[in-house]
Structure 1
Amino acid sequence: MMQVRYSTSPTSAETATTADLRDIFLVQDLFVPGEVRATYTHEDRMVIGGALPGTGQLDLPAFTDVLGEESHLQRRELGIINVGGAGHVLVDDEKFELEHLDGLYVGRGSEVAFVGTEAAFYFVSAPAHATYPHALLSHQDVEPVALGSADAANERSLFRYVWGQDVETSVLQFGVTVIADGSVWNTFPPHLHARRTEIYCYVDLADDDRVFHFMGQPGHTRHLVLKNREAVISPPWSIHAGAGTGSYAFIWAMAGENNCYTDLAPVAVEDL
């Protein structure tokens, strides 16, 4: 099952109702037992999805009616992060073991399948102009970048899995940010990516916790309320920042004109 979301303008977000914002930017129900669910956005033609294999094996669908190809990765590259228990991914029958928050980059042209009774695989794909080698990205082996501070309630660890260095890609970038206990804010102060779309998937929230995700142009921000394993599409014209009611992490993924991680424009707090 694949949903389709169309590109949007900043003015439409300013006047949208809460229901409209949720219909356009919020992605829910990604993880359904025994299924692969996905959403295609015309914002940089990214695909995000979830696979919950349970006791079986789930193949990554081609979604031919939307993507127009006989294989999902015929013209795309893929990033995967396991947000559940231990499992593995088969890439052209090569087995990659993934623990919680481990990642995997898969180059263009491969066939992919998901396996793991307790596993929950989040994935993102983007159009690719070249084929690059697969790369297993162990969460415990990635050196985090320390950001923020406890005093500002935005202390967090940035795990850059694929970010324009070390692992070669066409346009795809992704990683995980883990918020420190006692902090609430992510990506604050915020910034803009004029040449890239970014998608957040919030994970590791307790059932009764929520994240308030802020979006929109500086000076005209709106917000969405997300629960565990829900995602939000952030177009190039929108800031992206959030505050949680409890501990959480989020998966960030980007695609667009380049894969230069530092190609961004900071937004001053006084301009919000």
Structure 2
Amino acid sequence: MPKFQNTESKNIELTAENVNVYYGSTLAVKGVNLDIHSHEITAFIGPSGCGKSTMLRCFNRLNDLIPDAKVEGNITFRGQNLYEKKVDPVQVRRHIGMVFQKPNPFAKSIYDNIAFAARVNGFRGKDMDDLVENALRQAALWDEVKDKLKSNGLSLSGGQQQRLCIARAIAIQPEVILMDEPCSALDPISTLSIEQLLLNLKDKYTIIIVTHNMQQASRVSDRTAFFNARATEKGKQGYLVEYSDTKTLFQSPVEEATQQYVTGAFG
């Protein structure tokens, strides 16, 4: 298994080249090309069914778990093709973590949510207490839970649960964190706390976030990719319309479809 040493530009973490994603014989996402830059937040925006989440899952091979899913093209992480036969997808997910749309803490204590994730991913050190505290501190949750670490993670509020899930992802010490609509189930105050957390985390991690919330994308992301979908005989086919730094995409987009989407004319 490769160690994913960066043989590419130090500024590029992940690259997608001519990526097609099939579900069975249906081409769901077509011809995606983009670079993900290190220690930045990249947002994927676009209407429902345009392939944002499908493309996100390509980066840590979660589509492998979907029957009949197939990925064509090249996806490289630090110069290593993630889809080569010698690459273990479990190890890919160790380097490229995931936070899902709805908070999904384990039915365990707050402490064990972090410790269990670390142990499953090979942590054998004696300083588990330090690891748990560090992960919770990075997720801006430590001060709120330090006196109730034995309490069930499910007892926390929705926003706290999502930060616990982020801490759990951090505990395995990834280089990249993927987030699929991490705020869609949260209230506005919790959403703002997650957004501030993302801004704090990008110094240590590369982050890709899928969001329907264009204001959120404009607030937190350095770069934004706009996806759209075209109708085919077999359903919607997603594709990348435009990708640039966030300010340019929102204020001076090249494509008319991007302009219409970011101004609310459709979507």
TM-score between both structures, scaled by the size of structure 2: 0.31
Tell which structure's C-alpha radius of gyration is larger. Answer: 2
Question: Which structure shows the higher strand fraction?
Answer: 1
TM-score, length basis structure 1: 0.31
Question: Which structure: greater helix fraction?
Answer: 2
Q: Which has the higher contact order (CA 8 A, sep 6+)?
A: 2
